[in-house]
Copies of this chain bind each other. A is one copy, B any other.
């Protein structure tokens, strides 16, 4: 079989160029006689790879010098605990954090934070099945919050927040797992950004953390050494052996995005791709987009067939055209097309063409 169009929410499609380069140098990296997987993380070859990956990411995202870039493990699920363990601070006699609740991943972050301190949910869209994100005028911010946490893109619900919350002196924390690198952001407005790699960065097993210097160094009692950002920031993410091969792949992705014009160019292409799909969803009654217009994700696009009895047939026909992983998350049902940076325009067009064809065949 030829390669196919993979709409998986993550792990997800990677750029063809990156995979081919990885293949070509898998056994022997740039003639050094070793695979990247075999390199000591303290050897000059690997240290060069990781330093270059960080430098390219800093350039891509415009990360200010007073932010550390950490390559960790354990996914966003580990950050759900690391964030509170590192950022809870007593203010006004209590340690409390503000969380926005816009979907399944927000909920998980909230549940975990409650193990370590008080949580104030500033607003929630659970009333409408997480189909939108409350605007900031509806948020009930706590002036004594240790930090404010939100999920700018909910991978399951396909709800994206395109504006950046204003939180004044209170550090803003964002789980950017499924939106990072899809468009430019102003890093300086955030205290901490984290993201699992397996969507827009690289293979599963790498977790990216971008954290402002002054937030590092004060953890709750009983925090494991490996859950202390200081452990990693003081050791250039080499306190222990980092997930070297994943970081190497991520580095190639960063370099490719730079070559393609950076995040502004990515946003342009991503708006084009998402537009193809949303425009069609708006033009038909056969399919439906459940998400509020202002919050339609550029990366994860859930949609339903008006007649859910046709779901299986739709998926079967898609697979026959090499369009795979379109089944919606088990908690939502319907379909979901994840169209990360590495999904080519042709893939989205092929999906829209198939959707039209399927609709026509049922008319």
**Which residues of chain B come closer than 8 Å to A43, judged between CB atoms?**
8, 325
> Known pairs A8-B38, A26-B26, A222-B222. 6 more at Cβ < 8 A?
A14-B38, A37-B204, A37-B249, A116-B222, A224-B227, A243-B243
**Which residues of chain B come closer than 8 Å to A242, judged between CB atoms?**
204-205
Minimum Cβ distance to chain B for residue A113 (Å): 11
Query: Contact flags (1/0) for A7-49 with B, using CB distance below 8 Å?
Result: 0111111101001101100111001111101111101001000
Q: A85 within 8 Å of B by Cβ?
A: yes
Question: Please, could you name 8 A-B residue pairs with CB atoms under 8 Å apart, sorted by A?
Answer: A3-B33, A8-B39, A11-B37, A11-B39, A33-B322, A73-B78, A80-B225, A203-B245
Docked Cα-Cα span, A39 to B80, in Å, equals: 24
Q: A226 within 8 Å of B by Cβ?
A: yes
Given the known interface contacts A224-B115, A243-B204, the answer about A26 and B23 at a Cβ–Cβ threshold of 8 Å is: yes
Interface residues of chain A, those whose CB is within 8 Å of chain B, are: 1-4, 6, 8-14, 16, 19-20, 22-23, 26-28, 31-35, 37-41, 43, 46, 73-78, 80-82, 85, 112, 115-116, 196, 198, 202-206, 220, 222, 224-227, 239-246, 249, 322, 324-325
Across the interface, do B226 and A4 meet the contact criterion of CB distance under 8 Å? Answer: no
Docked Cα-Cα span, A226 to B80, in Å, equals: 9
Minimum Cβ distance to chain B for residue A235 (Å): 11
Residue in B35, B46, B73, B77 whose CB lies within 8 Å of A205: B73
Q: Is the interface of A mostly helix, strand, loop or mixed?
A: loop
Q: Who on chain B is nearest to A7 by CB?
A: B40
Minimum Cβ distance to chain B for residue A57 (Å): 18
Across the interface, do A10 and B241 meet the contact criterion of CB distance under 8 Å? Answer: yes
Minimum Cβ distance to chain B for residue A352 (Å): 20
Docked Cα-Cα span, A26 to B292, in Å, equals: 39
**Which residues of chain B come closer than 8 Å to A240, judged between CB atoms?**
74-78
**Which residues of chain B come closer than 8 Å to A244, judged between CB atoms?**
11, 203-205
Given the known interface contacts A31-B1, A33-B3, A115-B224, the answer about A241 and B19 at a Cβ–Cβ threshold of 8 Å is: no
**Which residues of chain B come closer than 8 Å to A13, judged between CB atoms?**
34, 38
**Which residues of chain B come closer than 8 Å to A26, judged between CB atoms?**
19, 22-23, 26
Across the interface, do B31 and A3 meet the contact criterion of CB distance under 8 Å? Answer: no
Minimum Cβ distance to chain B for residue A256 (Å): 15
Most buried by B among A11, A12, A16, A240: A11
Docked Cα-Cα span, A226 to B115, in Å, equals: 12
Across the interface, do B2 and A203 meet the contact criterion of CB distance under 8 Å? Answer: no
Across the interface, do A19 and B3 meet the contact criterion of CB distance under 8 Å? Answer: no
Given the known interface contacts A241-B198, A243-B205, A245-B245, the answer about A112 and B224 at a Cβ–Cβ threshold of 8 Å is: yes
The 5 closest A-B pairs by CB, nearest first: A205-B243, A81-B224, A4-B33, A73-B73, A77-B240
Docked Cα-Cα span, A196 to B242, in Å, equals: 11
**Which residues of chain B come closer than 8 Å to A76, judged between CB atoms?**
240
Across the interface, do A246 and B205 meet the contact criterion of CB distance under 8 Å? Answer: yes
Docked Cα-Cα span, A242 to B3, in Å, equals: 23
Given the known interface contacts A38-B11, A244-B203, the answer about A222 and B3 at a Cβ–Cβ threshold of 8 Å is: no
Across the interface, do B22 and A34 meet the contact criterion of CB distance under 8 Å? Answer: no
